[in-house]
Amino acid sequence: MSWIIDQQHVNNICSTCGTRYANERKPGDICPICEDERQYVLESGQHWTNYEAIAAQHNIRITERAPRLYDLRLVPAFSIGQRAFLVQSASGNILWDCLPLIDETTVAFIRAKGGLKGIAISHPHYYSLMAVWARIFDCPVYLHEADQEWIMDKRDHIQLWGGLQQPLWDDLKLVHTPGHFPGSVVLHAPHHGYDGTVLTGDSLFVSRDRKQVSFMYSFPNYIPLPAKDVRIIDERVSPLAFDSMYSAFDGLNIQEGAKEIYERSVIRYLQAVDPQFRP
């Protein structure tokens, strides 16, 4: 296989958030994504690494979560530690969110499942190696235009969209759910699971007990989302039909009853942050 990963030995990947930059980073260069109040810089400072160093220490583990739905994550975990999802669909597959690594085994697995027709990413924390993935699979990366200032590796494959929804194919669609980031989105897959699936990244967050969904402006810094933002998210998510929900991290899966859990969680959240709220 001819790899299209250029700059394999060049330090252009942030060790803390996993974002790949177009060009080499020097010691002392900051990562704007980590400097932002939604992320953090380690006490030991900013660190940069390269593709080869990550590939030498990590593999990608692929797990089937439901029929035609697989999650992919780095083991051992690296940087933020998010999952990506392979969503199989009749007219073409989509990768939801992205990883700071890609390897031959993963490429072969995805190709055997039909390849990728597109990549869509919930928000800038998971842009990671999106430009490399897009070149290898020669497919567009759908990003909401409200977050374009955070694109650190601008390539031809980036396809910005705006507005409330972006229809894809086979009734798959991206839904704009601003809050965590201005351009945060979720992916609605109506033909997956028992009665539809929502993949959320960090836009909505499945809690560890899988009995709650929550909302945060910053997860590592514990800054909650204002009630007005949660109401906007709810206006856009509550019309969707779904029974399962998957957010960014391993184990954060609601396999059934997700709509009911989601609706109860919105009320619980608004009661907590808005003293005037009456369900």
Residues that bind Zn ion (CB under 5 A): 14, 16-17, 31, 33-34, 125, 202
Nearer to Zn ion, 34 or 175 (CB): 34
CA distance 135 to 114: 16
Tell me what percent of the chain is helix, strand and coil, each rounded to the nearest 5.
Answer: 25, 25, 50
Nearest approach in angstroms of CB 222 to Zn ion is: 13
Nearer to Zn ion, 17 or 60 (CB): 17
Nearer to Zn ion, 124 or 193 (CB): 124
Q: Whose Cβ is closer to Zn ion: residue 202's or residue 243's?
A: 202
Q: Minimum CB separation from Zn ion for residue 19, in Å?
A: 5
What b/e sequence results for 120-142 when a residue is b if at least 16 CB atoms lie within 10 Å of its CB, and e otherwise?
bbbbbbbbbbbbbbbbbbebbbb
Q: Which two tokens stand for residue 266?
A: 């919105």
What is the number of other CB atoms lying within 10 angstroms of the CB of residue 2? 4
Tell me if 275 sits within 8 A of 216, measured CB to CB.
Answer: no
33 or 87: CB nearest Zn ion: 33
For 254-279, the DSSP string reads E-S-HHHHHHHHHHHHHHHH-TT---
Rounded CA separation 187/168 (Å): 10
Angle between helices 104-112 and 130-137 (to 10 degrees): 50
Nearer to Zn ion, 120 or 139 (CB): 120
To Zn ion, the closest distance from the beta carbon of 279 in angstroms equals: 28
Nearer to Zn ion, 71 or 202 (CB): 202
> In the complex, what is the shortest distance from the CB of residue 180 to Zn ion, in angstroms, rounded to a whole number?
6
Q: How far is the CB of 40 from Zn ion (least distance, A)?
A: 9
Q: What are phi and psi of 263, to 5 degrees?
A: -60, -45
What token pair was written down for 32?
């704007």
Q: How far is the CB of 133 from Zn ion (least distance, A)?
A: 18
DSSP 86: E
Minimum distance from CB of 111 to Zn ion (Å)?
Answer: 29
